[in-house]
Structure 1
Amino acid sequence: MPVFTIDAPQGARPDAKQKMLKEITEALDETYHFPDTRGWLREYPAENVSQDGRVGAEPVRPVCSLEAPELTNLDAKRKLVQKIESAIGAAYAGIANTDEVLVLVNHYPLENVGWRASLQSDKPEIVAAVAQLNA
């Protein structure tokens, strides 16, 4: 169920983007052990990005927004963030400010996620997986 979106500048090579998306998916799978990880990449021309109210004044700083089940283990979160930043940094080196990748981790309790016509909190296998994840 983890879902991620990357907002970044245009210019990365297709093979670099594919590798980045694969590495982020693998990092999420390793962390959460959940089925159905989804990822989107949104790229923008630099003239369509504002940073601190300025357009084109500095290289774009990529953002990764992560929507996922609750994760209480801070070490697991740190490791995940490092892997995400590393993957984005490799794909956008020389194109973006990869020293300042922002990773936003938004956690959802299972009763706030619908999947396969019910809430995830209604699925014993998902409840058990999150319990084990946060043990």
Structure 2
Amino acid sequence: MPQFFIEAPEGIRPKAKQAMMRDVCAALDEAYRIPDVRVWLREYPAENVAQDGRAEAEPIRPVCFLEAPELHSVDARRTLSNKIHSAIRQAYEGLANTDETLILMNFYPLENAGFAGRMQSDNPQIVTAVNRLNA
């Protein structure tokens, strides 16, 4: 159920895109071990991105958003961030300023996540998985 959004420049090669998405999914799966991990890629032309009000001011710096259940361990979050950053750096080498990729992590208690018409806090499998994750 973790969802990961990447906002980055256009131009990535298809094989690099596939490798990046596979590596990001693997990092999320390693951290969470919860099914239905999704990665969403939103690509922008340089003229549609501004830095301090100036379009095309510099190479685009990717920004990423993780929307997922709570992950209490700072070490697990650090490892996840490093693996994701590495995957993005490899994929966008020469296309973006990946030295300053921002990864924002938004964590939700299960009672704040609905899926398939019910709250995730009512799903015993997810509750068990998240409890084990944060034990």
Counterparts of 2:53 and 2:17, CA distance in 1: 28
Deviations 1:69-99 (A, max 9, x none): 0011000000000011100100000000010
Aligned to 1:61: 61
Percent identity of the aligned residues?
Answer: 63
Counterparts of 2:14 and 2:51, CA distance in 1: 25
TM-score (norm 1): 0.97
Residue 38 (structure 1) aligned with residue 38 (structure 2): yes
Deviations 1:78-130 (A, max 9, x none): 00000111001000000000100000100011001111221110011111111
Aligned to 1:27: 27
- Give the ranges of 4+ consecutive aligned residues of structure 1 lying more than 3 Å apart after TM superposition: none
Aligned to 1:126: 126
Question: Offset at 1:54?
Answer: 1.5
* Unaligned residue ranges in structure 2 (runs of 5+): none
* Unaligned residue ranges in structure 1 (runs of 5+): none
Aligned length: 135
Deviations 1:7-47 (A, max 9, x none): 00011101000100000001000100001111111111100
Please tell me the root mean square deviation across aligned C-alpha atoms, in Å: 0.7
